[in-house]
């Protein structure tokens, strides 16, 4: 681990990288060890009585929920968040399949009372018609509306069962969650043990920070205050407010459970705009991915030649251009054209011209010919060009880059 | 088909849409019929002696190469282009599996001479170490460098076989393809029947337009002239210059084979910046996809409330906000925040606030309450908000949006 987030270690590639490419033109290397280490670091920030969950929605931010979640279980994670029922059922399958850990510890599916040991929560809630599948797979819904609460209460009573749920109240995003009026009504129903809620067992009370990564945004304190106040109306229910930003913000935000997402994958949520303390935290997070692509061709071009679609880059000198086998269809954002760099054998090379669907063109004129002769791949994301910088160059956030990595790059998982 | 590209028909959804969602939060509906009709329209623009190939790289621009290519075979398409060996082998499998058409016509794998009937070409060429797999699956390489030509010639001679290849010469992109010097050398080798090329059978001579969609770019005429001139050095080899832009540009650009890609999927390559003739052409292309997402929640919010991450939208009136189950992890570009619209039961609703990973927030205050009560889904791409407009709002091109559609939305294929 490095104190400088800009030079944090990247996952180590196997010695014979090119053989790892096989039929593909690029390889995304994912370090399970990094994800586990990041989870442990985030857990270390909270008191022992605070649980640390893991947000693995969007296929673990593009890195593979089924591959990563079992390793988090081994590390002690018990609660997982996804978005949709589809994701939840896939994840439940992966957790059940794992069944053991590297040390032979018991990781069988059920605890002594017959329940699944690991909670899988769906942030989108349970939509009408999904109740049977949700219950069959022991998925816990995050209740965002009164309608959902009332519908699931009815299902529970009809079946003579208890359904564990999380309640999500909105404190400042106007997105998902119970609005002010619904929250007040639900609080009254909880306090008065309304028959409407009979059969529901609220386990968690949740809200979500809208700018947890931003030290300067007063919304953090306002949401913390609102959540603290609202919790008093739901006595005895565990509270959870902190995403990665809230987890890194400090214990005031942790309550009974933190829910880190992006930080698990090695990116500080503040991206490039970090305060000193945030930079120190970022240095503790280990990047979970690197991305290398085949050099498809190295060719000569003359001063005055145009490069790429619509000739947006015109060469000012006789040049050597490498065409690299990664394009926007792979998730290499088109906005990176004429902005990003790649690293070839330790040398930086600027991306020139537009990003194509399947390739990019980089100027390698300044890289020694002897180096180019033996180079077969370029690092498009990793040491020397990290995720925060790539996102900044693309005018977006690292979350979008990770979650939109394409299916075409081969995935290579390094063991935990 | 409509003459107005902005109101072109979208694929018809099944009557019971919500049941099609199942466990997913959004559904991408893909019309195989539209893709086939578009291919037929593009084929109709060329003389009968010009072959019309299909570019199905990047998983048919995100729409599913294995699902779509067999229908193009039924329509008469014989030649397919992909980027990598991985894509080629997957496609070859799908073409072999199809084995029949709807009318019971013979679509068996081999012709009478034992060769595969359908050519599958890899635009990236054959990389070192891929020769065996390429030959085993009857994949045709597009030769981009002298090194590739010489290496494959050697393989052919060692095995006493003939390897069909395409030769790609660069005429103005400085990306893939033989550069000027390499082209001259290769032409000399072809003319003099150099033993270096013994065993290679050049079937196609190709180049690629850098601005085929742009009526005003002089590169089109310059590349046409350069290609025409270079062809004379490769007598008897079929020529191919036209991507979708070139195919729509007119017969001068067609030579012996056109290679449309984006237009197959219903998007005119000129996007929103079309001339009159291009708009007429765009009206003949049928959009191949629509995208609908679940309304996760409709909630009240007050004037002054902030919406979404970092509160980039602040409500100026008491409002109703719908949260829709599609976000940037699904391929709904983050750049669309505060810019795009969705359509709910025929009513437009603006996207307000930032695009989240799994959801967007739209202002539905102006949609009648009775309409909202029965609405369960929103169209995020389709009639009323088409691909050209979405791409323009996102500051990119429709190609990027299609190829980066996520894996999480469910795919629904309408029969051809």
> Contacts of residue A170 in chain B, CB cutoff 8 Å?
299
Optimal mutation site among B21, B84, B142, interface A, most CBs of chain A within 10 A: B84
Of A174, A296, A403, the CB nearest to B305: A174
Q: How far is A320 from A369, CA to CA, in rounded Å?
A: 10
Q: Got the DSSP string for A159-214?
A: HT--EEEEEEB-SS-SSSSB-HHHHHHHHHHHHTT-GGGTTEEEEEEE---SSTT-
Measured CA to CA in angstroms, residue A137 lies from A60, A80, A204 at distances of 19, 14, 19
Q: How far is B100 from A268, CA to CA, in rounded Å?
A: 53
Give the Cα-Cα-Cα angle A301, A306, A312 (nearest 5 degrees).
Answer: 140
- Rg of chain B on CA atoms, in Å: 24
- The alpha carbon of residue B106 is apart from the nearest alpha carbon of chain A, in Å, by 31
> Contacts of residue B300 in chain A, CB cutoff 8 Å?
179, 181
- The alpha carbon of residue B390 is apart from the nearest alpha carbon of chain A, in Å, by 15
Question: Which are the contacts of B59, defined by CB distance < 8 A and separation ≥ 6?
Answer: A329, A407, A408, B65, B87, B403
User: May I ask the CATH class of domain A32-276?
Assistant: alpha beta
* Residue B117 confidence (pLDDT): 81
For the segment B59-66, the average pLDDT, to the nearest whole number, is 98
Contact B401, B61 (CB under 8 A): no
For the segment A86-100, the average pLDDT, to the nearest whole number, is 87
Of A22, A172, A296, the CB nearest to B176: A296
- Rg of chain A on CA atoms, in Å: 24
Contact A374, A411 (CB under 8 A): no
Q: How far is A95 from A118, CA to CA, in rounded Å?
A: 8
Can you list the pairs that B191-198 forms with residues at least 24 positions away whose Cβ atoms lie under 8 Å? Answer: B191/B233, B196/B149, B196/B150, B196/B153, B197/B149, B197/B153, B198/B153, B198/B156, B198/B157
For the segment A152-175, the average pLDDT, to the nearest whole number, is 96
Q: In the beta sheet, which residues pair with residue A360?
A: A324
- The alpha carbon of residue A359 is apart from the nearest alpha carbon of chain B, in Å, by 8
Condensed to tens digits (0 to 9), the pLDDT of residues B202-250 reads: 999 999 999 999 999 999 999 999 999 999 999 999 999 999 999 999 9
> Contacts of residue B86 in chain A, CB cutoff 8 Å?
22-25, 408, 410
Do B32-284 and B289-385 fold alike per CATH?
no
Kindly determine whether residue B59 and residue A23, on different chains, have CB atoms separated by under 8 Å. no
**Structural domain boundaries of chain A?**
32-276, 289-385
Kindly determine whether residue A19 and residue B129, on different chains, have CB atoms separated by under 8 Å. yes
Contact B327, A124 (CB under 8 A): no
Respond yes or no: is residue A328 known to be catalytic. Answer: no
> Contacts of residue A176 in chain B, CB cutoff 8 Å?
296-297, 323, 359
Condensed to tens digits (0 to 9), the pLDDT of residues B292-322 reads: 999 999 999 999 999 999 999 999 999 999 9
pLDDT level of residue B99 (50, 70, 90 thresholds): low
- The alpha carbon of residue A83 is apart from the nearest alpha carbon of chain B, in Å, by 7
Q: Which of B109-131 are b and which e, b meaning 16 or more Cβ less than 10 Å from the residue's Cβ? A: beeeeeebebbbbbbbbbbeebb
- The alpha carbon of residue A400 is apart from the nearest alpha carbon of chain B, in Å, by 6
* Residue A161 confidence (pLDDT): 95
Optimal mutation site among B174, B183, B220, B372, interface A, most CBs of chain A within 10 A: B174
Q: In the beta sheet, which residues pair with residue B168?
A: B206
Of A130, A179, A396, the CB nearest to B301: A179
State how beta strands A377-381 and A289-301 pair.
antiparallel
- Region of poorest pLDDT, from A245-249, B162-166, B179-183: B179-183
Helix axis angle, A32-44 to A65-75, nearest 10°: 50
Report which of residues A192 and B304 the model is more confident about.
B304
pLDDT level of residue B190 (50, 70, 90 thresholds): confident
Condensed to tens digits (0 to 9), the pLDDT of residues A29-54 reads: 999 999 999 999 999 999 999 999 99
Q: Which of B77-104 are b and which e, b meaning 16 or more Cβ less than 10 Å from the residue's Cβ? A: bebbbbbbbbbbbbbbebbbebeeeeee
Backbone torsions φ then ψ of A188, nearest 5 degrees? -65, -45
Predicted complex ipTM exceeds 0.90 = yes
Mean pLDDT of chain A: 92
For the segment A103-121, the average pLDDT, to the nearest whole number, is 65
Can you tell me which residue has the tokens 């959004």? Answer: B26
Contact B256, B239 (CB under 8 A): yes
Q: How far is A210 from A250, CA to CA, in rounded Å?
A: 16
pLDDT level of residue A273 (50, 70, 90 thresholds): confident
> Contacts of residue B311 in chain A, CB cutoff 8 Å?
172, 210-211, 217, 219
* Residue B7 confidence (pLDDT): 38
* Residue B13 confidence (pLDDT): 62
Q: How far is A137 from A90, CA to CA, in rounded Å?
A: 10
Closest A-chain CA to B318: A174
Taking residue A408's Cβ as centre, other Cβ atoms within 10 Å add up to 23
Q: In the beta sheet, which residues pair with residue B362?
A: B322, B351
* Residue A18 confidence (pLDDT): 72
Q: What is the token pair recorded at B301?
A: 């919010």
Of B83, B127, B331, the CB nearest to A404: B331
Question: Is 90 exceeded by the pLDDT of residue B106?
Answer: no
Q: What is the token pair recorded at B167?
A: 């030769």
Q: What is the token pair recorded at B390?
A: 């979405």
Q: Got the DSSP string for B123-141?
A: TT---TT-HHHHHHTTEEE
pLDDT level of residue A15 (50, 70, 90 thresholds): low
State how beta strands A341-344 and B163-168 pair.
unpaired
DSSP strand E in B32-103: where?
51-52, 54-55, 79-82
Contact A391, A335 (CB under 8 A): no
The helix (H) or strand (E) run that includes residue B119 is strand B119-122
Question: Which are the contacts of B218, defined by CB distance < 8 A and separation ≥ 6?
Answer: none
Question: Is 50 exceeded by the pLDDT of residue A2?
Answer: no
Number of H helices, E strands in chain A: 14, 19
CATH 3.40.50.2000 is the classification of domain A289-385: no
Helix axis angle, B65-75 to B32-44, nearest 10°: 50
Can you tell me which residue has the tokens 């209460």? Answer: A153
Condensed to tens digits (0 to 9), the pLDDT of residues B113-144 reads: 555 689 999 999 999 999 999 999 999 999 99
Kindly determine whether residue B311 and residue A211, on different chains, have CB atoms separated by under 8 Å. yes
Of the options 3.40.50.1000, 3.20.20.10, 3.40.50.20, 2.40.50.140, the CATH number for the domain spanning B32-284: 3.20.20.10
- Region of poorest pLDDT, from A190-204, A338-352, B348-362: A190-204
Kindly determine whether residue B299 and residue A219, on different chains, have CB atoms separated by under 8 Å. no
- Region of poorest pLDDT, from A56-70, A123-137, B36-50, B88-102: B88-102
Q: Which of A61-81 are b and which e, b meaning 16 or more Cβ less than 10 Å from the residue's Cβ? A: bbbbbbbbbbbbbbbebebbb
Optimal mutation site among B329, B339, B407, B410, interface A, most CBs of chain A within 10 A: B329
DSSP SS3 for B106 = strand
């Amino acid at each position: 681990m490095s104190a400088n987030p800009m030079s944090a270690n990247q996952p180590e590639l196997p010695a014979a990288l090119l053989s790892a490419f096989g039929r593909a033109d690029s390889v995304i290397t994912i370090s399970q060890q990094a994800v586990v280490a990041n989870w442990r670091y985030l857990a270390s920030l909270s008191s022992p009585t605070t649980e640390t969950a893991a947000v693995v929605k969007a296929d673990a931010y593009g890195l593979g929920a089924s591959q990563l979640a079992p390793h988090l279980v081994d590390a002690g994670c018990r609660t997982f968040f996804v978005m949709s029922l589809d994701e939840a059922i896939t994840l439940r399958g992966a957790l059940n399949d794992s069944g053991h850990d590297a040390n032979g510890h018991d990781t069988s599916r059920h605890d002594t009372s017959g329940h699944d040991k690991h909670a899988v929560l769906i942030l989108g809630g349970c939509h009408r018609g999904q109740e049977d599948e949700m219950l069959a797979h022991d998925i816990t819904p995050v209740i965002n509306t009164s309608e959902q609460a009332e519908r699931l209460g009815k299902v529970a009573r009809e079946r003579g069962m208890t359904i564990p749920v999380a309640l999500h109240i909105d404190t400042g995003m106007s997105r998902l969650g119970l609005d002010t009026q619904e929250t007040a009504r639900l609080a009254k129903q909880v306090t008065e043990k309304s028959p409407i809620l009979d059969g529901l067992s609220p386990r968690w009370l949740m809200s979500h920070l809208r700018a947890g990564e931003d030290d300067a945004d007063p919304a953090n304190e306002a949401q913390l205050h609102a959540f603290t106040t609202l919790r008093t109306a739901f006595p005895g229910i565990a509270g959870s407010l902190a995403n990665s930003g809230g987890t890194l913000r400090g214990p005031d935000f942790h309550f009974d459970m933190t829910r880190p997402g992006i930080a698990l994958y090695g990116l500080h949520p503040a991206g490039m705009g970090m305060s000193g303390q945030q930079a120190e935290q970022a240095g503790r997070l280990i990047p979970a991915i690197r991305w290398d692509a085949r050099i498809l061709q190295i060719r000569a071009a003359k001063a005055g030649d145009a490069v790429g679609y619509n000739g947006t880059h015109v060469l000012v000198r006789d040049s050597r251009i490498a065409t690299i086998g990664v394009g926007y269809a792979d998730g290499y954002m088109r906005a990176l054209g004429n902005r990003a760099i790649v690293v070839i054998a330790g040398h930086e090379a600027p991306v020139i011209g537009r990003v194509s669907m399947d390739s990019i063109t980089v100027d390698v004129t300044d890289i020694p010919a002897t180096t180019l002769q033996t180079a077969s791949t370029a690092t498009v994301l990793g040491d020397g060009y990290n995720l925060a910088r790539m996102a900044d160059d693309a005018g977006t956030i690292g979350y979008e880059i990770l979650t939109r990595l394409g299916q075409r790059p081969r995935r290579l998982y390094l063991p935990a």
